[in-house]
Amino acid sequence: MVHRYLDVRRLLCPMPILKAEAALRDMVTGEILEMRATDPGLTRDLPAWCRMQGHQLLALHQHGREWIGYVAKGCS
């Protein structure tokens, strides 16, 4: 179940990660953020950021020209 949706399409690095960070700040541990991006850099930035911040990357896949990621908020 997705708890929050974040549209970061047409934004370039570092904005998708900064927006995800802001969105997760208002969420509780275990809630899931779905984000859609057009910046291909998300494929390396999102997994690395999740590892560093203690969040769990549930999935990241490409759909057409978009990347869709699902992140479960960790206890950071």
The number of folded domains in the chain is 1
Contact present, 39 and 65 (Cβ < 8 Å): no
Determine the structural domain holding residue 51 and report its residue range.
4-72
Give the model's confidence band at 75: pLDDT under 50 very low, under 70 low, under 90 confident, else very high: confident
CATH of the domain at 25: 3.30.110.40
User: What are the start-end ranges of the H helices in 1-76?
Assistant: 15-25, 42-53
Percent of the chain with pLDDT over 90: 96
Residues annotated as part of the active site? 13
The burial class, CB within 10 Å (0-12 / 13-18 / 19+), for 28 is exposed
Average pLDDT over residues 54-71: 98
Q: How confident is the model at residue 76 (pLDDT cuts 50, 70, 90)?
A: low
Task: Decide the pairing of beta strands 56-63 and 4-8.
Answer: unpaired
